[in-house]
């Protein structure tokens, strides 16, 4: 099951790379929880998570990722990856560790761990009007 779970996680991030959040949300359970960074509260429920992801489109123009290491055991997948978040102000590179939990072929949780200070350009684009 671990290989199949790794494939689902990769499918999720591939949907993100297309900024196709409706496709991404189809991979999650109704009770899905998402924590975008260690300082954020868990966002619970498929609808709340989709609303949050869709709000990213206000500032995010692209998303790319490169898996560096993927480990899995049972229903847990951990992926070390590099992400590039694009905005009208440029791209920001972020090293991230993600922990994904799955059940019955659906994602039930996604928690990312990274240094939020590194996302300064992305945060600036999210909070300031863009020309």
pLDDT value for 125: 57
- Count how many domains the chain has: 1
pLDDT value at residue 115:
87
The verdict on residue 33 lying in a domain is yes
- Structural domain harbouring 43: 2-126
Handedness of CA 108, 46, 81, 38 (dihedral sign): negative
The pLDDT value recorded for residue 127 is 58
How do strand 28-35 and strand 106-113 relate by DSSP bridges? parallel
Segments of the chain scoring below 50 in pLDDT: 130-131
Domain membership of residue 77 (yes or no) is yes
Q: How far apart are CA 73 and CA 113, in angstroms?
A: 19
Question: For residue 37, what is the domain's CATH number?
Answer: 3.10.450.50
- pLDDT value at residue 119: 72
> Buried b vs exposed e over 44-57: b needs ≥16 C-beta within 10 Å?
eebeebbeebeebe
pTM for the predicted model, two decimal places: 0.89
């Amino acid at each position: 099951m671990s290989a199949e779970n790794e494939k689902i996680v990769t499918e999720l991030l591939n949907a993100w790379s297309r900024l196709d959040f409706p496709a991404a949300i189809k991979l999650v359970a109704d009770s899905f929880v998402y924590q975008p960074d260690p300082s954020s509260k868990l966002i619970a429920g498929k609808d709340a998570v989709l609303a949050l992801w869709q709000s990213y489109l206000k500032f995010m123009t692209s998303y790319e990722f490169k898996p560096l290491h993927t480990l899995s055991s049972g229903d847990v997948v951990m992926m070390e990856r590099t992400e590039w978040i694009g905005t009208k102000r440029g791209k920001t590179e972020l090293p991230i560790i993600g922990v994904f939990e799955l059940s019955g072929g659906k994602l039930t949780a996604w928690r990312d761990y990274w240094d939020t200070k590194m996302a300064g350009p992305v945060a600036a684009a999210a909070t300031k009007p863009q020309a």
